[in-house]
């Protein structure tokens, strides 16, 4: 197959044992090569991309007769821009790792595509400008050096919320209700959702593709802020282990609460899902519950 976007056509894969950001990068690469992605193993999955042998997920899929391959297969196909030998990377040879023919054509016909990568990159850049302009108009706002990073974080958290809602088959109504500002990517997905009776796996795949492109487009904004913080520490502006008062002042003003004594014995260990939920709520409050920008 010479067409890069069709290298993995007919592959329906899920991922196990790989954490973000690497997980998201693998997913994006697979989607760009024409594969379809599922958050978990489903009846139509043809392939498990796995990091280790013998994990619970590996044993589960092996018992079901599914094919399992190393993550390096995806990476090599992407790097060489061709379909490399599957047998070199196979961890468990089960049912066919791809399905073409009528089923493949059917999947292709239902594929959702909101635009090219270049177009979506432009959406992300425009969304960042819109949220920065709005932040600058607020009475209580981050410092000038924080505007870009706060806006970028808010956009990405909103997109993560959209992906999660679609993955849980809940649709985007709660996202639209809870977020005042909606990135263009979410608006486009909402428009697609209005025209269907049920959420398709292709819509979820497209949401994840959009988020991946937004992540890549805005990562320099977030990275530059981290670099600035590191430089400040190197210069002695903030000693290691100290808290940046300027950074915490805005956060404390949200609730207008006075500082209270802190007892480390009262620390609560939170599960990852709880941390994600708190992060989402904090970003919504920090940015002031984004307004909807046409």
pLDDT digits (tens, 9 = 90+) for 10-57: 999 999 988 889 999 999 999 999 999 998 888 888 999 998 888 888
Domain span at residue 134?
117-236+267-286
Distances (CA, A) of 236 to 127, 146, 225, 232: 35, 20, 17, 6
Structural domain includes residue 248 = no
Quote the number of domains for the chain. Answer: 2
Whole-structure pTM over 0.95, yes or no? no
Helix residue ranges per DSSP H, 99-244: 101-109, 117-136, 147-167, 173-178, 184-194, 201-234
Q: pLDDT value at position 22?
A: 92
Q: pLDDT value at position 126?
A: 95
Q: pLDDT value at position 211?
A: 93
Q: pLDDT value at position 141?
A: 74
Is 180 found in the same domain as 40?
A: no
Is 276 found in the same domain as 168?
A: yes
Is 150 found in the same domain as 191?
A: yes
Q: Are strands 47-50 and 36-37 parallel, antiparallel or unpaired?
A: unpaired
Residues in the chain predicted with pLDDT less than 70, given as ranges, are 1-2, 100-111, 194-201, 224-294
Is 59 found in the same domain as 11?
A: yes
What is the side-by-side order of every strand in the sheet holding 47-50?
36-37, 12-16, 47-50, 67-70, 90-92
């Amino acid at each position: 197959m010479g067409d890069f976007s069709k290298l993995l056509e007919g592959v329906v894969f899920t991922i196990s044992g790989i954490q973000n950001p690497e997980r998201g990068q693998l997913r994006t690469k697979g989607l760009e090569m024409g594969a379809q992605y599922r958050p978990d193993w489903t009846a139509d999955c043809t392939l498990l991309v796995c990091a280790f042998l013998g994990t619970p997920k590996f044993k589960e899929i092996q018992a079901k007769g599914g094919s399992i391959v190393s993550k390096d297969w995806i990476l090599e196909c992407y790097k060489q821009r061709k379909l490399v030998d599957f047998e070199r990377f196979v961890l468990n040879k089960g049912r066919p790792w791809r399905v073409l023919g009528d089923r493949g054509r059917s999947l292709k016909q239902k594929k959702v595509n909101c635009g090219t990568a270049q177009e979506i990159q432009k959406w992300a850049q425009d969304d960042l400008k819109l949220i920065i302009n709005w932040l600058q108009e607020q009475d209580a706002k981050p410092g000038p050096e924080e505007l870009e990073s706060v806006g970028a974080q808010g956009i990405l958290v909103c997109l993560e919320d959209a992906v999660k809602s679609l993955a849980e088959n809940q649709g985007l109504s709660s996202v639209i209700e809870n977020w005042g500002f909606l990135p263009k990517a979410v608006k486009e997905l909402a428009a697609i959702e209005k025209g269907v009776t049920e959420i398709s796996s292709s819509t979820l795949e497209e949401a994840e593709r959009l988020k991946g492109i937004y992540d890549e487009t805005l990562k320099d904004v977030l990275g530059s802020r981290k670099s600035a913080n590191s430089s400040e520490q190197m210069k002695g502006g903030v000693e290691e282990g100290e808290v940046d008062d300027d950074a915490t002042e805005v956060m404390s003003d949200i609730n207008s609460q006075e500082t209270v004594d802190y007892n480390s014995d009262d620390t609560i260990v939170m599960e990852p899902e709880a941390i994600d939920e708190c992060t989402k709520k904090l970003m919504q409050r920090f940015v002031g519950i984004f307004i909807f920008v046409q």
